[in-house]
Amino acid sequence: MVYYIIMDNQTSEDLWDENILGEESFGKFYTGNGYKAFTGMIDKDPDVLSHVLIVDERKHFYSITEFLDAIKDWKIILDN
């Protein structure tokens, strides 16, 4: 399953490669460029997180808490 990050003024039609948070496969979460943006927001501008939406490839939306709960047991593989 692929997960994307978008801002609340965007729609699920705005999904593209730079928005990819990552992809889950067999209990591993392979991060994408969107993950770097997400962690940057957490570290540098947490107020903007109230405008973040997370959506999967099936266009199911998640709150940040729901997303973090989903990935908490997966091994995170950082894309360097």
pLDDT of the chain, 80 residues: tens digit per residue: 999 998 877 666 666 677 899 999 999 999 998 999 899 999 999 999 999 989 999 999 999 999 999 999 999 998 65
Q: Give the separation between CA 21 and CA 56, rounded to whole angstroms.
A: 9
How many Cα atoms are found within 13 Å in the side-chain-facing hemisphere of 47? 0
**In one letter, which amino acid is 56?**
D
**What DSSP character marks residue 18?**
G
**In one letter, which amino acid is 11?**
T
